[in-house]
Every structure is written in structure tokens, then in C-alpha cells.
Amino acid sequence: MTERLLILSFSPIANDARVLKQVEAFRDEYEVTTCGYGDAPDGVARHIRIPDDVLHNVLNDRYIRTRAYRLAYWTLWSVAWVRRHVPRRTFDIVLANDVEAVPIALALKPAKGVHADLHEYSPLVNEHWQGWREKITPYVEWLCRRYVTRASSWSTVSGGLAREYERNFGFRAELVTNAAPYQEAVPTPVADPVRLVHSGAALGERRIEDMIDGVIRSRSGCTLDLYLTPNQPAYVDELKRQADGSGGRVRMLDPVPYADLAATLRGYDVGLSVIPPTTFNSAWALPNKIFDYVQARLGVIVGPSPEMSDTVERFGIGVATAGFTPEDLAATLDAMTAQDVSAWKRASHANARTLSAESQVAVWKRAIAALAAT
């Protein structure tokens, strides 16, 4: 009999790259039902759509202030909706995405257990917001102790996050990076001047302005194109003004759909991802853009973030700057040669299969197969 697997995520699943990889990994072997926001992803047996007006994570401030955490969680609109509309004891396994999905996944009483995929270190996910550490961190830590520890298995996106979960809550999460699907491609010749690119979210805490400043300060003549999603429109406007003053060396371009990103990136030489450690999750980030750059057969320049620099240096696909300042990036760019970039691009090509999503999805497959066998 085919096992019944529920993939639960409080996100628009059809546009969530990590959750879509789960859907693609399991839809041919299991009877997959998804539950989340937005349209059904392709190939699932059933999609339970949470209505758009049922907002997620609108916490009751009084419950949080008085540490009535059980009430705070179970009265969340999204959680209460799932509790009402998804019948218990219907599924064999639930794959719950992020901490907030785990308690309701356990409450659905799957016959063979819950796998928790933790996309970030959730207790500190928005620690840069005023009051987060005082009010929200204890609540999320309570969720982790009370519920996430009761999952049958766990995964997360970087080694630093896995170690922090184990240190604070005792469970050992396996590593499943945000690797991109394998792309058939070959490295392109290095341009003169070298063409740099950065793709991702426009978030102020990432200090994208420092990357722009570093390129402008560099004497190498290299150029930078930015493909940014407008998460913070006012911040995007600031970056545009900065780029406009670069003498044509930095351009702000419209973001492209993820399906078109690999082809777009292949027109460049080096991908940039210098993310200062403004938060715990930033410090231990291993973002999907690193893997997008590899699949595009680019070299990669990162800051000295441990997870990113280790990956870049271990596979020879690029280099880490000495620090996170514009001056550090400029020094790296000035020392870079066309021969360096060519070697990095060849290394990305040689390691593209190893660093692809297919190698990472195998970890999920083993975890879910282990539950199915119980």
C-alpha cells in the first residue's frame, strides 16, 4: 500500500523552492497531500489550500506577554484553520516545515510519525526586530522544547544551525542544504571587465549597500548587476540611488522568476554573497544563491561566514574576503585575476553534481523511508 504523506508548510508552496523540492522528491513514491497557501504544486494527489485571508503568525500580544504560550500557539488563525479542516489520523507521515508547523503536525496523529524540516534557527529568526529576544524567543524556545523535540526526525539548512538546535534542545538535525537543482551547462569565457552578480532579497540587515560600495571602490573595473526581490521597497530605492551614482559600474535590474534564474546568471562570471553576521541566522547562513551560482558555473565570492567560506574553499569554487566591509571586498576584487575566475568557474562545473539538490534530497528520502518502514 502506498504511504500517505502530508507536506505541511505555512507558505505559498508552489513558490517555495525548498518545499517544492520535497514535493518533487516524494510525489512518485508516496500519495502526497500538500497543505499551505496558494495554488497546488504540480503532481500532488491533493492540495489543502489555506485561505489567503487566514493570516499566519499573528500572535496575541497578551498571551505572549503573560507567557500563555499554549493559548498563543493554538489560537493562531492558520493553526486553528488546519486543526478544523485537516482530519486527524488521515496520514501515515507528516513532513512539517519550520517550527510553527510541528505542533499541529503532531496533533494530526500521523500513524508513523513527523519529520521536522527547520529552515532557520527559529528562536532567533527575527532577532534584529525590537523586542524579539525578550518576547518571541522564549515562546519559540517553548515550542521547540514542548513539541519539536517530539518529532521522529529532523533536518535543517546548515551545520551551525544543527549544532545550535542540538545544544539547546537535544535533538540532532541532519543537514539538507538549500542546493539548487542540477543544470546542464558549461562555464563561459571570463569577460573583461569581470561581470559580478548578486541575486536575492532586498533586506536591510544584509547590507547590500556595502557590496555596491566595495565594487565602486575596487580599481579592477569589474561591474555588478543586482537582481533583488523588493522585500523592502524603501531600501530598494536607496540602493537604486547608490547604483545610479556608480558611473555605470552597478546596475539594478528587475528580478527574474526562479525558473529563469540559472539561464540569467550564466551571463556572468562571479556571484557575490557577502552577508554580515547581523543575526545568528545570518552568521551561519548557507543560502541558496551559493548553489544557484554553482549551477550557473560561476565563481563565488563570499564573506568570512563559516558555512559559506568552508563550502567555497573546500570545493575551490571561489574565495572568501578577509572581512565584511566594502574595503575588504574591494581588496579581494583588486587581487582577483581572470585566471582565478576561470579556475573557479571550472571548479563549479566539476562540482555541480555534488553540490546539486539531488544529493541533498537523498537525506529527506532516507528519513521519510525510515518512518515508512516502522
Question: Using 50, 70 and 90 to split pLDDT, how confident is the model at 258?
Answer: confident
pLDDT value for 259:
81
Query: In 3D, which of 14, 349, 356, 368 has the Cα closest to residue 185?
Result: 349
What percent of the chain has pLDDT above 70?
100
Q: In angstroms, what CA-CA distances link 340 with 301, 303, 325? A: 11, 17, 22
Helix (H), strand (E), coil (C) string for 123-161: HHCCCCCCCHHHHHHHHHHHHHHHCHHHCCEEEECCHHH
Pairing of strands 153-156, 270-273: unpaired
Task: Report the pLDDT averaged over residues 228-236.
Answer: 94
Determine phi and psi for 110, rounding to 5 degrees. -65, 145
Please answer whether residues 173 and 138 qualify as being in contact, where contact means their C-beta atoms are separated by less than 8 angstroms.
no
Q: What is the DSSP letter of 50?
A: E
Phi/psi-derived region of residue 209, left when phi > 0, alpha when psi is between -120 and 50, beta in every other case: alpha
Query: Is the confidence at residue 1, as pLDDT, over 80?
Result: no
Number of neighbours of residue 204 by Cβ within 10 angstroms: 15
Please answer whether residues 196 and 330 qualify as being in contact, where contact means their C-beta atoms are separated by less than 8 angstroms.
no
Q: What is the DSSP letter of 277?
A: -
pLDDT value for 25:
96
List, for residues 101-138, the tens digit of each pLDDT value.
Answer: 999 999 999 999 999 999 999 999 999 899 999 999 99
Question: Can you identify the CATH homologous superfamily of domain 195-351?
Answer: Glycogen Phosphorylase B; (3.40.50.2000)
How is domain 4-178+356-372 classified at the CATH fold level? Rossmann fold (3.40.50)
Return mean pLDDT, the chain. 96
List, for residues 271-309, the tens digit of each pLDDT value.
Answer: 999 999 999 999 999 999 999 999 999 999 999 999 999
Q: For residues 44 and 28, what is the distance between their CA atoms, to the nearest angstrom? A: 9
Angle at alpha carbon of residue 244, lines to 243 and 247, rounded to 5°: 95
Q: In angstroms, what CA-CA distances link 341 with 23, 274, 357? A: 36, 17, 24
- At 299 the three-state DSSP class reads strand
Determine phi and psi for 298, rounding to 5 degrees. -100, 160
List, for residues 173-215, the tens digit of each pLDDT value.
Answer: 999 999 999 999 999 999 999 999 999 999 999 999 999 999 9
pLDDT value for 286:
96
Q: For residues 29 and 35, what is the distance between their CA atoms, to the nearest angstrom? A: 18
Query: Is the confidence at residue 168, as pLDDT, over 90?
Result: yes
Please answer whether residues 305 and 311 qualify as being in contact, where contact means their C-beta atoms are separated by less than 8 angstroms.
no
pLDDT value for 163:
98
Grid cell of 46 as nine digits:
491533493
How many residues does this entry show for the chain? Answer: 374
Indicate the residue type of 373: A
User: Alpha-carbon torsion 6, 11, 15, 16, what sign?
Assistant: negative
Task: Report the pLDDT averaged over residues 224-228.
Answer: 97
Task: Report the pLDDT averaged over residues 233-242.
Answer: 96
Residue indicated by cell numbers 523552492: 17
pLDDT value for 123:
98
Query: Is the confidence at residue 341, as pLDDT, over 90?
Result: yes
Please answer whether residues 194 and 336 qualify as being in contact, where contact means their C-beta atoms are separated by less than 8 angstroms.
yes
Residue indicated by cell numbers 497557501: 37
Determine phi and psi for 137, rounding to 5 degrees. -55, -45
- Per domain, the residue ranges of the chain are 4-178+356-372, 195-351
- Judge if the upstream peptide bond of residue 193 is cis by omega within 30 degrees of 0: yes
Query: Is the confidence at residue 6, as pLDDT, over 80?
Result: yes
pLDDT value for 244:
96
